């Protein structure tokens, strides 16, 4: 079980890193955008950063949990992660 837990947590850490990189790409685009588009970029960045921070917190809770509580926390983490993932742009829709 410990090995599965570490693999699962590693997968979540990789997803967080990917989301952080996506936020940075959007930040770079925002820095080059015209003023009218910059406001929309900034709002998107703020929302995505909050989602990223929430996901990171969820991972910390999962990581710090006792073995007995880990399985139930894993289920709630999966639900939250699905919700988080839905807010990040799909590769085909990124601008």
Residue 93 lies in a domain: no
pLDDT by residue (tens digit) across 36-63? 899 999 999 999 999 899 999 989 999 9
Residue 94 lies in a domain: no
Q: What is the pLDDT of residue 74?
A: 87
DSSP 18-75: HHHHHHHHHHHHHHHS-HHHHHHHHHHHHHHHHHHHHHHHHHHHHHHS-HHHHHHHHH
What's the pTM? 0.77
Indicate the number of domains in the chain. Answer: 1
What count of residues does the chain have? 95
Q: Is residue 51 part of a domain?
A: yes
Note whether residue 92 is domain-resident: no
The residue segments making up the domain with residue 83 are 2-87
């Amino acid at each position: 079980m410990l090995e599965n837990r570490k693999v699962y947590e590693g997968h979540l850490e990789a997803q967080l890193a990917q989301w952080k990189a996506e936020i940075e790409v959007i930040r770079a685009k925002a820095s080059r955008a015209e003023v009218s588009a910059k406001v929309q970029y900034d709002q998107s960045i703020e929302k995505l950063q909050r989602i990223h921070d929430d996901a990171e917190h969820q991972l910390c809770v999962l990581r710090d949990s006792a073995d007995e509580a880990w399985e139930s926390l894993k289920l709630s983490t999966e639900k939250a992660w699905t919700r988080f993932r839905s807010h990040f742009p799909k590769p085909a829709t990124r601008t």
